[in-house]
Structure 1
Amino acid sequence: MSHDQEQIDPRIKRTLLVISDAMIVLMNEKGFEHVTVRDITQHAEINRATFYRHYVDKYELLDKIVRNRMEEFFAAISLPSSFAFEDLSLDPEIPPSSFIRLFEHIAEHAAFYRLMLSDKGIPGFAGRMEQIIRESFYHRLQLAEADSQAMPKTPMELVARYATSAHLGLITYWLEAGMPYTPAYMALQLKRLHMLGPTQVVIVG
Protein backbone atom coordinates (compact mmCIF):
# COMPACT_ATOMS: atom_id res chain seq x y z
CA MET A 1 0.00 0.00 0.00
CA SER A 2 1.35 3.40 -0.94
CA HIS A 3 2.14 6.11 1.60
CA ASP A 4 -0.78 8.22 0.34
CA GLN A 5 -3.21 5.34 0.84
CA GLU A 6 -2.04 4.84 4.41
CA GLN A 7 -3.23 8.36 5.30
CA ILE A 8 -6.76 7.84 3.95
CA ASP A 9 -9.79 7.47 6.23
CA PRO A 10 -10.64 3.73 6.60
CA ARG A 11 -14.11 4.18 5.08
CA ILE A 12 -12.71 5.93 2.02
CA LYS A 13 -9.96 3.33 1.79
CA ARG A 14 -12.59 0.60 1.68
CA THR A 15 -14.49 2.44 -1.06
CA LEU A 16 -11.31 2.79 -3.14
CA LEU A 17 -10.58 -0.90 -2.66
CA VAL A 18 -14.08 -1.87 -3.80
CA ILE A 19 -13.73 0.34 -6.88
CA SER A 20 -10.31 -1.05 -7.81
CA ASP A 21 -11.48 -4.64 -7.27
CA ALA A 22 -14.45 -3.96 -9.55
CA MET A 23 -12.13 -2.67 -12.26
CA ILE A 24 -9.93 -5.77 -12.09
CA VAL A 25 -12.91 -8.13 -12.28
CA LEU A 26 -14.46 -6.26 -15.19
CA MET A 27 -11.20 -5.99 -17.11
CA ASN A 28 -10.78 -9.72 -16.76
CA GLU A 29 -14.31 -10.29 -18.06
CA LYS A 30 -14.42 -7.89 -21.01
CA GLY A 31 -11.11 -6.07 -21.41
CA PHE A 32 -10.33 -2.48 -20.39
CA GLU A 33 -11.61 -0.81 -23.57
CA HIS A 34 -15.08 -2.25 -23.03
CA VAL A 35 -15.35 -1.34 -19.34
CA THR A 36 -17.39 1.77 -18.59
CA VAL A 37 -17.69 3.88 -15.45
CA ARG A 38 -21.30 2.69 -15.28
CA ASP A 39 -20.07 -0.93 -15.22
CA ILE A 40 -17.64 -0.11 -12.42
CA THR A 41 -20.18 1.70 -10.24
CA GLN A 42 -22.77 -1.03 -10.68
CA HIS A 43 -20.30 -3.78 -9.84
CA ALA A 44 -18.93 -1.84 -6.86
CA GLU A 45 -22.47 -0.91 -5.77
CA ILE A 46 -21.69 2.78 -5.48
CA ASN A 47 -23.13 5.82 -7.22
CA ARG A 48 -21.37 7.70 -10.01
CA ALA A 49 -20.82 10.74 -7.78
CA THR A 50 -18.74 8.60 -5.42
CA PHE A 51 -16.61 7.37 -8.32
CA TYR A 52 -16.01 10.88 -9.68
CA ARG A 53 -15.16 12.14 -6.21
CA HIS A 54 -11.98 10.07 -6.43
CA TYR A 55 -11.22 9.62 -10.14
CA VAL A 56 -11.57 11.72 -13.29
CA ASP A 57 -12.30 8.66 -15.41
CA LYS A 58 -11.49 4.96 -15.79
CA TYR A 59 -8.06 5.81 -17.17
CA GLU A 60 -7.01 7.62 -14.01
CA LEU A 61 -8.41 4.76 -11.95
CA LEU A 62 -6.35 2.16 -13.81
CA ASP A 63 -3.23 4.35 -13.66
CA LYS A 64 -3.54 4.71 -9.88
CA ILE A 65 -4.19 1.00 -9.40
CA VAL A 66 -1.06 0.11 -11.36
CA ARG A 67 1.16 2.76 -9.77
CA ASN A 68 0.13 1.78 -6.24
CA ARG A 69 0.68 -1.89 -6.95
CA MET A 70 4.10 -1.24 -8.47
CA GLU A 71 5.11 0.75 -5.39
CA GLU A 72 4.12 -2.23 -3.25
CA PHE A 73 5.95 -4.61 -5.59
CA PHE A 74 9.11 -2.51 -5.29
CA ALA A 75 8.84 -2.44 -1.50
CA ALA A 76 8.33 -6.21 -1.37
CA ILE A 77 11.33 -7.15 -3.50
CA SER A 78 13.77 -4.51 -2.25
CA LEU A 79 16.25 -5.17 0.51
CA PRO A 80 15.49 -3.03 3.58
CA SER A 81 18.21 -0.81 5.01
CA SER A 82 18.74 -3.37 7.79
CA PHE A 83 18.48 -6.54 5.73
CA ALA A 84 18.69 -10.05 7.16
CA PHE A 85 21.80 -12.17 6.61
CA GLU A 86 19.93 -14.77 4.55
CA ASP A 87 19.22 -12.16 1.88
CA LEU A 88 22.89 -12.29 0.89
CA SER A 89 23.66 -15.86 1.95
CA LEU A 90 25.42 -18.07 -0.62
CA ASP A 91 23.61 -21.13 0.72
CA PRO A 92 21.10 -22.19 -1.99
CA GLU A 93 18.88 -23.81 0.66
CA ILE A 94 18.23 -20.55 2.53
CA PRO A 95 15.47 -18.55 0.82
CA PRO A 96 15.94 -14.78 1.20
CA SER A 97 13.23 -13.03 3.18
CA SER A 98 12.90 -10.54 0.31
CA PHE A 99 12.07 -13.41 -2.09
CA ILE A 100 9.43 -14.68 0.34
CA ARG A 101 7.94 -11.19 0.64
CA LEU A 102 7.85 -10.98 -3.15
CA PHE A 103 5.79 -14.14 -3.57
CA GLU A 104 3.57 -13.25 -0.61
CA HIS A 105 2.82 -9.93 -2.30
CA ILE A 106 2.02 -11.66 -5.60
CA ALA A 107 -0.27 -14.12 -3.79
CA GLU A 108 -2.11 -11.32 -1.99
CA HIS A 109 -2.83 -9.59 -5.31
CA ALA A 110 -2.99 -12.65 -7.55
CA ALA A 111 -6.06 -11.50 -9.50
CA PHE A 112 -4.32 -8.25 -10.41
CA TYR A 113 -1.05 -9.83 -11.54
CA ARG A 114 -2.74 -12.69 -13.36
CA LEU A 115 -4.76 -10.15 -15.32
CA MET A 116 -1.94 -7.73 -16.03
CA LEU A 117 0.41 -10.46 -17.24
CA SER A 118 -2.25 -11.81 -19.60
CA ASP A 119 -3.34 -10.49 -23.01
CA LYS A 120 -6.06 -8.48 -21.23
CA GLY A 121 -3.51 -6.48 -19.24
CA ILE A 122 -2.02 -3.13 -20.22
CA PRO A 123 0.84 -2.98 -22.76
CA GLY A 124 4.28 -2.80 -21.19
CA PHE A 125 3.24 -3.99 -17.73
CA ALA A 126 5.67 -6.93 -17.71
CA GLY A 127 8.42 -4.50 -18.70
CA ARG A 128 7.65 -2.33 -15.66
CA MET A 129 7.96 -5.36 -13.42
CA GLU A 130 11.22 -6.34 -15.10
CA GLN A 131 12.68 -2.88 -14.51
CA ILE A 132 11.89 -3.06 -10.79
CA ILE A 133 13.34 -6.56 -10.54
CA ARG A 134 16.49 -5.46 -12.39
CA GLU A 135 17.02 -2.45 -10.11
CA SER A 136 16.61 -4.66 -7.06
CA PHE A 137 19.05 -7.19 -8.51
CA TYR A 138 21.72 -4.55 -9.14
CA HIS A 139 21.32 -3.28 -5.57
CA ARG A 140 21.74 -6.82 -4.26
CA LEU A 141 24.88 -7.26 -6.38
CA GLN A 142 26.37 -4.03 -5.07
CA LEU A 143 25.88 -5.18 -1.48
CA ALA A 144 27.32 -8.61 -2.23
CA GLU A 145 30.37 -7.17 -4.02
CA ALA A 146 31.15 -5.02 -0.99
CA ASP A 147 31.98 -8.26 0.86
CA SER A 148 33.80 -9.96 -2.02
CA GLN A 149 36.98 -9.34 -3.98
CA ALA A 150 35.98 -11.74 -6.76
CA MET A 151 35.69 -10.22 -10.22
CA PRO A 152 32.61 -11.09 -12.25
CA LYS A 153 33.26 -13.60 -15.07
CA THR A 154 30.10 -12.68 -16.96
CA PRO A 155 28.99 -9.17 -17.93
CA MET A 156 26.63 -7.84 -15.29
CA GLU A 157 23.97 -6.91 -17.84
CA LEU A 158 23.77 -10.54 -18.99
CA VAL A 159 23.51 -11.75 -15.41
CA ALA A 160 20.82 -9.17 -14.64
CA ARG A 161 18.79 -10.11 -17.71
CA TYR A 162 18.98 -13.79 -16.82
CA ALA A 163 17.96 -13.16 -13.21
CA THR A 164 15.11 -10.87 -14.24
CA SER A 165 13.74 -13.46 -16.65
CA ALA A 166 13.94 -16.11 -13.92
CA HIS A 167 11.95 -13.95 -11.51
CA LEU A 168 9.23 -13.06 -13.98
CA GLY A 169 9.11 -16.55 -15.46
CA LEU A 170 8.49 -18.20 -12.09
CA ILE A 171 5.93 -15.58 -11.08
CA THR A 172 4.01 -16.04 -14.33
CA TYR A 173 4.10 -19.83 -14.12
CA TRP A 174 2.99 -19.81 -10.48
CA LEU A 175 -0.01 -17.61 -11.25
CA GLU A 176 -1.01 -19.55 -14.36
CA ALA A 177 -0.78 -22.85 -12.46
CA GLY A 178 -3.07 -21.58 -9.68
CA MET A 179 -0.27 -21.06 -7.12
CA PRO A 180 0.15 -24.76 -6.18
CA TYR A 181 3.21 -23.99 -4.00
CA THR A 182 3.67 -21.72 -0.99
CA PRO A 183 5.51 -18.38 -1.26
CA ALA A 184 8.33 -19.84 0.85
CA TYR A 185 8.69 -22.81 -1.50
CA MET A 186 8.77 -20.54 -4.56
CA ALA A 187 11.34 -18.29 -2.87
CA LEU A 188 13.54 -21.32 -2.20
CA GLN A 189 13.33 -22.55 -5.80
CA LEU A 190 14.14 -19.09 -7.13
CA LYS A 191 17.20 -18.92 -4.85
CA ARG A 192 18.32 -22.40 -5.95
CA LEU A 193 17.97 -21.49 -9.62
CA HIS A 194 20.00 -18.33 -9.05
CA MET A 195 22.75 -20.14 -7.16
CA LEU A 196 22.93 -23.47 -8.99
CA GLY A 197 21.43 -22.79 -12.40
CA PRO A 198 18.71 -24.87 -14.09
CA THR A 199 21.00 -27.77 -15.04
CA GLN A 200 22.41 -28.26 -11.56
CA VAL A 201 19.00 -27.94 -9.94
CA VAL A 202 17.75 -30.85 -12.04
CA ILE A 203 20.86 -32.96 -11.34
CA VAL A 204 21.11 -32.17 -7.64
CA GLY A 205 17.34 -32.28 -7.09
Structure 2
Amino acid sequence: MSNKKVNLDLRVKRTLHLIRDAFLSLMDKKGFDHITVRDITECAEINRATFYLHYQDKHDLLQKIVDEMMHEFLTAFQLPPNFDATGFIKDTNTPPDSFIRQFEHIVAHSQFYRVMLGSNGLPGLSHRMENIIRDSLYQRSIIAQPNDSQVTMPRDIIVRYVTSAHLGIIMYWLENDMQYSPKYMATQLIRLHEHGSTYFVKGHT
Protein backbone atom coordinates (compact mmCIF):
# COMPACT_ATOMS: atom_id res chain seq x y z
CA MET A 1 0.00 0.00 0.00
CA SER A 2 1.41 3.40 -0.98
CA ASN A 3 2.11 6.16 1.52
CA LYS A 4 -0.46 8.30 -0.28
CA LYS A 5 -3.14 5.66 0.26
CA VAL A 6 -2.19 5.22 3.91
CA ASN A 7 -2.32 8.97 4.53
CA LEU A 8 -5.72 9.19 2.82
CA ASP A 9 -7.11 6.35 4.94
CA LEU A 10 -5.80 7.98 8.11
CA ARG A 11 -7.39 11.30 7.15
CA VAL A 12 -10.73 9.60 6.50
CA LYS A 13 -10.59 7.79 9.85
CA ARG A 14 -9.71 11.03 11.61
CA THR A 15 -12.62 12.80 9.92
CA LEU A 16 -15.05 10.04 10.88
CA HIS A 17 -13.84 10.19 14.48
CA LEU A 18 -14.31 13.97 14.55
CA ILE A 19 -17.85 13.66 13.19
CA ARG A 20 -18.83 10.91 15.59
CA ASP A 21 -17.27 12.58 18.63
CA ALA A 22 -19.05 15.82 17.76
CA PHE A 23 -22.33 13.99 17.26
CA LEU A 24 -22.13 12.19 20.61
CA SER A 25 -21.20 15.40 22.40
CA LEU A 26 -24.21 17.17 20.88
CA MET A 27 -26.49 14.23 21.63
CA ASP A 28 -25.45 14.42 25.27
CA LYS A 29 -26.21 18.16 25.45
CA LYS A 30 -29.25 18.58 23.21
CA GLY A 31 -30.72 15.23 22.24
CA PHE A 32 -31.06 13.91 18.69
CA ASP A 33 -34.15 15.89 17.67
CA HIS A 34 -32.45 19.23 18.32
CA ILE A 35 -29.22 18.49 16.42
CA THR A 36 -28.66 19.71 12.86
CA VAL A 37 -25.96 18.79 10.36
CA ARG A 38 -24.66 22.33 10.72
CA ASP A 39 -24.28 21.78 14.48
CA ILE A 40 -22.28 18.64 13.81
CA THR A 41 -19.98 20.18 11.21
CA GLU A 42 -19.33 23.27 13.32
CA CYS A 43 -18.55 21.17 16.38
CA ALA A 44 -16.28 18.86 14.36
CA GLU A 45 -14.72 21.84 12.56
CA ILE A 46 -15.32 20.41 9.10
CA ASN A 47 -17.37 21.66 6.16
CA ARG A 48 -20.78 20.30 5.19
CA ALA A 49 -19.44 18.81 1.95
CA THR A 50 -17.08 16.62 3.97
CA PHE A 51 -19.95 15.42 6.13
CA TYR A 52 -22.03 14.47 3.08
CA LEU A 53 -19.14 12.49 1.62
CA HIS A 54 -19.72 9.97 4.39
CA TYR A 55 -23.34 10.30 5.55
CA GLN A 56 -26.66 11.14 3.91
CA ASP A 57 -27.97 13.00 6.95
CA LYS A 58 -27.99 12.85 10.74
CA HIS A 59 -30.30 9.81 10.69
CA ASP A 60 -27.84 7.90 8.53
CA LEU A 61 -25.03 8.90 10.89
CA LEU A 62 -26.97 7.69 13.93
CA GLN A 63 -27.86 4.38 12.31
CA LYS A 64 -24.30 3.67 11.19
CA ILE A 65 -22.84 4.50 14.59
CA VAL A 66 -25.35 2.34 16.46
CA ASP A 67 -25.15 -0.57 14.00
CA GLU A 68 -21.35 -0.58 14.23
CA MET A 69 -21.37 -0.52 18.02
CA MET A 70 -23.98 -3.26 18.29
CA HIS A 71 -21.99 -5.42 15.87
CA GLU A 72 -18.90 -4.97 18.05
CA PHE A 73 -20.94 -5.63 21.21
CA LEU A 74 -22.21 -8.88 19.67
CA THR A 75 -18.76 -9.89 18.44
CA ALA A 76 -17.21 -9.31 21.85
CA PHE A 77 -19.78 -11.62 23.49
CA GLN A 78 -19.78 -14.36 20.86
CA LEU A 79 -18.56 -17.83 21.68
CA PRO A 80 -15.56 -19.12 19.74
CA PRO A 81 -16.03 -21.74 17.00
CA ASN A 82 -16.24 -25.35 18.24
CA PHE A 83 -16.97 -24.08 21.75
CA ASP A 84 -16.58 -26.68 24.48
CA ALA A 85 -19.20 -26.20 27.21
CA THR A 86 -16.99 -27.93 29.77
CA GLY A 87 -14.58 -25.00 29.55
CA PHE A 88 -17.17 -22.26 29.89
CA ILE A 89 -16.87 -21.75 33.65
CA LYS A 90 -13.67 -23.05 35.22
CA ASP A 91 -14.64 -21.55 38.58
CA THR A 92 -16.40 -18.42 39.78
CA ASN A 93 -13.07 -16.62 40.10
CA THR A 94 -12.26 -17.20 36.43
CA PRO A 95 -14.91 -15.56 34.22
CA PRO A 96 -15.25 -16.53 30.56
CA ASP A 97 -13.13 -14.47 28.18
CA SER A 98 -16.30 -13.36 26.37
CA PHE A 99 -17.62 -11.73 29.55
CA ILE A 100 -14.37 -9.81 29.99
CA ARG A 101 -14.32 -8.79 26.32
CA GLN A 102 -17.81 -7.37 26.60
CA PHE A 103 -16.82 -5.08 29.46
CA GLU A 104 -13.59 -4.15 27.67
CA HIS A 105 -15.63 -3.18 24.61
CA ILE A 106 -17.79 -0.88 26.75
CA VAL A 107 -14.68 0.73 28.28
CA ALA A 108 -13.28 1.37 24.79
CA HIS A 109 -16.54 3.04 23.73
CA SER A 110 -17.68 4.47 27.04
CA GLN A 111 -18.71 7.83 25.55
CA PHE A 112 -21.10 6.10 23.17
CA TYR A 113 -22.75 3.99 25.88
CA ARG A 114 -22.97 6.76 28.45
CA VAL A 115 -24.61 9.11 25.95
CA MET A 116 -26.85 6.64 24.16
CA LEU A 117 -28.11 5.07 27.37
CA GLY A 118 -28.51 8.46 29.06
CA SER A 119 -31.46 10.82 29.28
CA ASN A 120 -30.78 12.36 25.85
CA GLY A 121 -29.79 9.08 24.24
CA LEU A 122 -31.46 6.47 22.07
CA PRO A 123 -34.49 4.86 23.76
CA GLY A 124 -34.24 1.56 21.87
CA LEU A 125 -30.56 0.90 22.48
CA SER A 126 -30.97 -1.01 25.75
CA HIS A 127 -33.54 -3.23 24.02
CA ARG A 128 -31.05 -4.05 21.24
CA MET A 129 -28.39 -4.84 23.82
CA GLU A 130 -30.86 -7.00 25.73
CA ASN A 131 -31.69 -8.98 22.59
CA ILE A 132 -28.01 -9.63 21.89
CA ILE A 133 -27.38 -10.77 25.46
CA ARG A 134 -30.52 -12.93 25.56
CA ASP A 135 -29.76 -14.70 22.28
CA SER A 136 -26.19 -15.39 23.36
CA LEU A 137 -27.21 -16.69 26.79
CA TYR A 138 -29.91 -18.85 25.25
CA GLN A 139 -27.31 -20.39 22.93
CA ARG A 140 -25.04 -21.04 25.91
CA SER A 141 -27.89 -22.64 27.84
CA ILE A 142 -28.54 -25.04 24.96
CA ILE A 143 -24.87 -25.99 24.84
CA ALA A 144 -24.71 -26.46 28.61
CA GLN A 145 -27.95 -28.50 28.78
CA PRO A 146 -29.65 -29.37 25.48
CA ASN A 147 -32.33 -31.51 27.14
CA ASP A 148 -35.27 -29.32 28.26
CA SER A 149 -36.49 -32.08 30.59
CA GLN A 150 -33.31 -31.66 32.63
CA VAL A 151 -33.84 -27.92 33.14
CA THR A 152 -35.41 -27.01 36.48
CA MET A 153 -37.90 -24.52 34.95
CA PRO A 154 -38.80 -23.29 31.45
CA ARG A 155 -35.59 -22.26 29.72
CA ASP A 156 -37.10 -18.96 28.52
CA ILE A 157 -37.80 -17.88 32.10
CA ILE A 158 -34.26 -18.62 33.22
CA VAL A 159 -32.70 -16.86 30.23
CA ARG A 160 -34.95 -13.80 30.62
CA TYR A 161 -34.04 -13.50 34.31
CA VAL A 162 -30.31 -13.87 33.69
CA THR A 163 -30.46 -11.44 30.76
CA SER A 164 -32.08 -8.76 32.91
CA ALA A 165 -29.45 -9.23 35.59
CA HIS A 166 -26.66 -9.13 33.01
CA LEU A 167 -27.82 -5.88 31.43
CA GLY A 168 -28.57 -4.40 34.85
CA ILE A 169 -24.98 -4.99 35.96
CA ILE A 170 -23.67 -3.26 32.82
CA MET A 171 -25.97 -0.28 33.43
CA TYR A 172 -24.92 -0.08 37.09
CA TRP A 173 -21.25 -0.09 36.07
CA LEU A 174 -21.74 2.74 33.58
CA GLU A 175 -23.82 4.80 36.01
CA ASN A 176 -21.03 4.53 38.58
CA ASP A 177 -18.21 5.69 36.28
CA MET A 178 -16.89 2.16 35.63
CA GLN A 179 -15.00 2.22 38.91
CA TYR A 180 -14.18 -1.50 38.68
CA SER A 181 -12.09 -3.26 36.05
CA PRO A 182 -13.65 -5.32 33.24
CA LYS A 183 -12.26 -8.53 34.77
CA TYR A 184 -13.66 -7.66 38.21
CA MET A 185 -17.10 -6.95 36.73
CA ALA A 186 -17.02 -10.12 34.64
CA THR A 187 -16.13 -12.11 37.77
CA GLN A 188 -19.02 -10.64 39.78
CA LEU A 189 -21.37 -11.26 36.88
CA ILE A 190 -20.47 -14.92 36.52
CA ARG A 191 -20.84 -15.37 40.28
CA LEU A 192 -24.33 -13.90 40.09
CA HIS A 193 -25.15 -16.14 37.13
CA GLU A 194 -24.01 -19.14 39.14
CA HIS A 195 -25.40 -18.32 42.58
CA GLY A 196 -27.94 -15.54 42.14
CA SER A 197 -29.77 -14.47 45.28
CA THR A 198 -27.78 -16.76 47.59
CA TYR A 199 -25.28 -13.89 47.89
CA PHE A 200 -27.88 -12.07 49.97
CA VAL A 201 -27.72 -14.83 52.58
CA LYS A 202 -25.59 -13.87 55.57
CA GLY A 203 -22.55 -16.08 55.92
CA HIS A 204 -22.55 -17.22 52.30
CA THR A 205 -19.09 -18.15 51.04
Worse overlay, 33-42 or 62-71 = 33-42
Alpha-carbon distance in 2 for matches of 1:66, 1:125? 8
Q: Which residue of 2 aligns with 1:4?
A: none
Q: Which residue of 2 aligns with 1:161?
A: 160
Worse overlay, 11-20 or 194-203 = 194-203
Q: Which residue of 1 aligns with 2:3?
A: none
Amino acid at match of 1:143: I
> Is the 1:37–1:48 Cα contact (8 Å) retained in structure 2?
yes
User: Cα distance, 1:202 vs. partner?
Assistant: 5.4
Q: Which residue of 2 aligns with 1:185?
A: 184
> Is the 2:29–2:120 Cα contact (8 Å) retained in structure 1?
no
User: Cα distance, 1:84 vs. partner?
Assistant: 7.5
Q: Which residue of 1 aligns with 2:76?
A: 76
Q: Deviations over 1:8-27 (max 9, x none)?
A: 93321221121111111110
Worse overlay, 182-191 or 105-114 = 105-114
Q: Which residue of 1 aligns with 2:171?
A: 172
Q: Which residue of 1 aligns with 2:198?
A: 199
1:56 aligns with 2:56: yes
Alpha-carbon distance in 2 for matches of 1:187, 1:15? 34
SS at match of 2:81: coil
Alpha-carbon distance in 1 for matches of 2:185, 2:201? 16
Q: Which residue of 2 aligns with 1:95?
A: 95
Worse overlay, 23-32 or 193-202 = 193-202
Alpha-carbon distance in 2 for matches of 1:64, 1:140? 29
Q: Which has the larger radius of gyration?
A: 2
Q: Which residue of 1 aligns with 2:14?
A: 14
TM-score (norm 1): 0.88
Alpha-carbon distance in 2 for matches of 1:85, 1:128? 26
> Is the 2:22–2:43 Cα contact (8 Å) retained in structure 1?
yes
| CA RMSD, 1 decimal | 2.1
Detail structure 1 runs of 4+ shifted over 2 Å in the superposition.
8-11, 82-87, 198-205
Alpha-carbon distance in 2 for matches of 1:182, 1:86? 26
Q: Gaps spanning 5+ residues in structure 2: where?
A: 1-7
Q: Deviations over 1:79-130 (max 9, x none)?
A: 1215577861262222110000000001111111111112211221111100
> Is the 1:38–1:48 Cα contact (8 Å) retained in structure 2?
yes
Aligned 1:24-35 pairs, distance under 5 A: 24-35=24-35
> Is the 2:162–2:193 Cα contact (8 Å) retained in structure 1?
yes
Structure 1 pair 85–158 and aligned structure 2 pair: CA distance change class (3 A): closer
> Is the 2:76–2:102 Cα contact (8 Å) retained in structure 1?
yes
Alpha-carbon distance in 1 for matches of 2:87, 2:200? 20
SS at match of 2:79: coil
TM-score (norm 2): 0.88
Q: Which residue of 2 aligns with 1:110?
A: 110
Amino acid at match of 1:177: N
Q: Gaps spanning 5+ residues in structure 1: where?
A: 1-7
1:124 aligns with 2:160: no
Structure 1 pair 9–138 and aligned structure 2 pair: CA distance change class (3 A): same
Alpha-carbon distance in 2 for matches of 1:132, 1:185? 22
Structure 1 pair 150–190 and aligned structure 2 pair: CA distance change class (3 A): farther
